[in-house]
Chains A and B, each alone.
Chain A
Amino acid sequence: MTDKNGFFDLSRSALTRRTALKGLAAGAGLAVAPGFVRYSQAQSSAPIKIGFQSHRTGIGAAYGRWYEKTTAAAVKAINDAGGINGRPVEVIIEDDGTDPGRGAEVVGKFASQHKTDIVYGTLFSHVVIGSAPAAGEAKMPYFVVSEGHHVASTKLNRYVFQPGITDVKSQIQSMAPWIAANAGKKVTQIFPDFAFGYDHRDYLPPALKAQGAEVIAQIAIPPTESSFTKYFPQIPAETEVIYHVMVGPAVLTFVKELGEFYGSNRPQLFGFIDSLEATDINSPGLEFLDGSHFWEGSPRYAQPDDSPAQKAYRAAVGIDDNGAAVGDPKDVSTAAHMFGCWETLYVVKKAMEDAGYRGPEDRAKLVEATEALTEFAEGPEHPQGPKTFNGKIHQCFGIQNISKVEGGRLNVVHKTKIEDGLYEPEGNYTTQAL
């Protein structure tokens, strides 16, 4: 059946045999030449292969870049010290486009084409959730660095772990005592109207209530919003603390408009640094944040009491005292989260050594060995701080930092305890079959 009017003829240009052959030859070259040679080489190599599901493109690209830098530094440190079980570690990176559909394909590619030993490194929650079924079906240990509560919720599967960074439920719970004691007891929440915001919406009120404080208003802002002034009149006058977790490019506008709304007479501000990861705290428009407080997983700025391990970690990853790339002050890191890559890789190392891991046939042993871990001591392998690990919910618990914006930098004013972030397990992965 043809379209005689040329409905689909986008150019109506004539196609000669020569041009068609050129096009076909180019296409054939593209299809045949690339990855296949590399894949066959990878299959015959000896190193432990870690498939890194990276957000190189899409909304997570800023994180992805720094996750890659941290991963490269950790792998170099591990290999310089003899590798894992005497074998070098090789990282194979695939871009998932920060897309859950592509994420699942990438996990499949690691499992069946690259034949990696594990898959690791995913940050964005929807990609983790979209990829988890593929990992479970391939029986591929999947170590994520996401901070989402989805792993600890036990709604994924036995092959998914988050041993290098605490989850958001734990983080929020840890913040509540400090907020109630130091910032104020009447809290208004402003959060994006999607899942990241819902975690804060759902977990903060009970955590504050336990501390004798309360959430007096919750203002959800649609993700498509680009101007925020119209929402600010909804903030009750008696508000003592504004708890904000806006993320994405609109955060600069949000802060600027909040500043214009309140002027110099504002309530206390408390936020999660997720809003400003990879963003210079001294960017124009952010002056209003001076004196406010932020949660940080790991401090962006070097602190006077940094441990030798923290200093060594920062040097290895290549960030200066301001948390930017050495030699490029404008390239601000995602310091609050990326330490999780470093620590996760050392957890993988420890679990593989405990399991006597030799290859993919030992993946089940690796899962059990990871589940058997209970504590990670602070030190070169865990520079952010000590952690405990709950093998039943595949989630670690650690300390959190509360930092104050002062003089154009973030100074840590409080460190929480591990116990502050513990909660009752919601399930038990170890009852699932391997």
Chain B
Amino acid sequence: MKDASPAKPYALHLGVIALLFGLSFVLPEYHHGLLARIMVLAVFAMGYNLLFGYVGLLSLGHAMFFSAGLYGAGLAVIHLGWSVPAAFAAGLACGALLALVIGLLALRTSGVAFMIVTMMFAQVFYLLILYFAAWTGGDQGLVVPQPMRVLVLGSTSFDLTNATVRYMSALALFSIVLLISLAIVRSGYGRVLVAIRENEERTKMLGFDTFSSKLAAVVISGSICAASGAAYALLFGYVGSSFASVQYSILPLLWVLLGGAATTLGPLIGTLFMYYVIDIASGYTSAYLLIVGIALILLVLFFPRGILGSIRQRWLGWLP
């Protein structure tokens, strides 16, 4: 492991945050809005990356954690009239609790079995959303009323439907999660996670409780994904079952693989890349998913460790 002084990685990450902040003032309106959405979904990818990239656990069920946050926050506003901070906390708590329960059960398996078990749980979660349509809106989903999407802090209120407020809220969430991710992967606990990924038996023999470490990773990962889902509901005003479908379990995997698994900034790069390839290609052809597929194949061929993973391998070994 090539490690560096903490200054370099932290400077890089703070630089990225500063860049995103600066972009808010220069980006055209459309890209400004799109980047806000990308940052929220990059948080989803960061949560996924923590488990997949650093622990090596391939889950195909993370849509349920995202959706737990989405519905936890959205339904708290729609049915209970909760404020934005309370609803966000509710979404986060739903995701954390769900992740704890799923982790306790799914971590009894590993490898392909873990992938299948998480996918099955996510499918159950998805069908539950459809089953309780009277509350969840079923497959149509629900709109979070615009007047309730206001963040009140003391005597100041922020309208989350305002483009600048939304961008800055997304940036705040992204920044917090990015710095938490960085702190985790640079900590002793982060090294234990990587050790589990590389050789779990040896890690056990060294005296580490790998099950507890993995369970904590599932809970942290699920909570981050739920934070992303809760933010999505509150910032963009829609909760829908399609976000709980298997497609939204595969997407963070693709974003992470594209950007570079086990890199802290890879999820942002991957999400950004994928979004813009789809956005641009769909302007030309309805077969844009073919272009996305070709782009993915090219990336696997030329950047087998993802964009940042390859950069780290070849040039910047200190990248966290």
List the interface of chain A (C-beta within 8 A of B): 1-5, 7-13, 15, 19-20, 23, 26, 30-31, 34-35, 38, 56-57, 94-95, 99-101, 104-105, 108-109, 111-113, 125-126, 129-130, 132-134, 136-137, 148, 150, 155-157, 193-196, 198, 222-224
Our pick among B131, B238, B241, B302 for the contact of A15 (Cβ within 8 Å) is B302
CB–CB A10/B304 < 8 A: yes
CB–CB B143/A195 < 8 A: no
Interface-located stretch among B96-104, B207-215, B279-287: B279-287
CB–CB A15/B303 < 8 A: yes
| A26-B295 Cα distance, complex, nearest whole Å | 10
Name the residue of chain A whose CB is nearest to the CB of B291: A30
Is B236 an interface position by the 8 A CB rule?
A: yes
A35 partner residues in chain B, CB cutoff 8 A: 279-280, 283-284
Our pick among B37, B140, B283 for the contact of A150 (Cβ within 8 Å) is B140
| A344-B141 Cα distance, complex, nearest whole Å | 25
| A105-B275 Cα distance, complex, nearest whole Å | 11
CB–CB B141/A100 < 8 A: yes
B137 partner residues in chain A, CB cutoff 8 A: 129, 195
CB–CB B238/A113 < 8 A: no
Q: Given the known inter-chain contacts A1-B262, A34-B280, please indicate yes or no for A194 contacting B133, CB distance below 8 A.
A: yes
Interchain Cβ contacts under 8 Å between A and B, 25 examples: A1-B54, A4-B198, A7-B198, A7-B261, A13-B301, A13-B304, A15-B303, A30-B295, A35-B283, A57-B289, A94-B283, A95-B282, A109-B279, A113-B28, A126-B141, A129-B137, A137-B161, A155-B143, A157-B146, A193-B130, A193-B131, A195-B140, A198-B133, A198-B138, A222-B127
Name the residue of chain A whose CB is nearest to the CB of B199: A5
B32 partner residues in chain A, CB cutoff 8 A: 112
Is B242 an interface position by the 8 A CB rule?
A: yes
Q: A1-B190, A26-B298 are in contact. List 5 more A-B contacts (CB 8 A).
A: A2-B313, A3-B194, A4-B198, A9-B304, A195-B140
Name the residue of chain B whose CB is nearest to the CB of A126: B140
B130 partner residues in chain A, CB cutoff 8 A: 193-194, 223
Is B111 an interface position by the 8 A CB rule?
A: no
For window 61-75 of B, CB contacts with A under 8 Å fall at none
CB–CB A125/B320 < 8 A: no
A99 partner residues in chain B, CB cutoff 8 A: 242
B194 partner residues in chain A, CB cutoff 8 A: 1, 3
| A5-B300 Cα distance, complex, nearest whole Å | 17
B281 partner residues in chain A, CB cutoff 8 A: 30, 34
CB–CB A133/B305 < 8 A: no
Q: Given the known inter-chain contacts A10-B300, A10-B304, please indicate yes or no for A113 contacting B30, CB distance below 8 A.
A: yes
B305 partner residues in chain A, CB cutoff 8 A: 8-10
| A156-B139 Cα distance, complex, nearest whole Å | 16
Name the residue of chain A whose CB is nearest to the CB of B53: A8
| A104-B30 Cα distance, complex, nearest whole Å | 12
B34 partner residues in chain A, CB cutoff 8 A: 105, 108-109
A100 partner residues in chain B, CB cutoff 8 A: 141, 238, 240, 242
CB–CB B283/A194 < 8 A: no
Q: Given the known inter-chain contacts A11-B301, A112-B28, A112-B29, please indicate yes or no for A133 contacting B141, CB distance below 8 A.
A: no
For window 297-320 of B, CB contacts with A under 8 Å fall at 298, 300-306, 309-310, 312-314, 317, 319-320
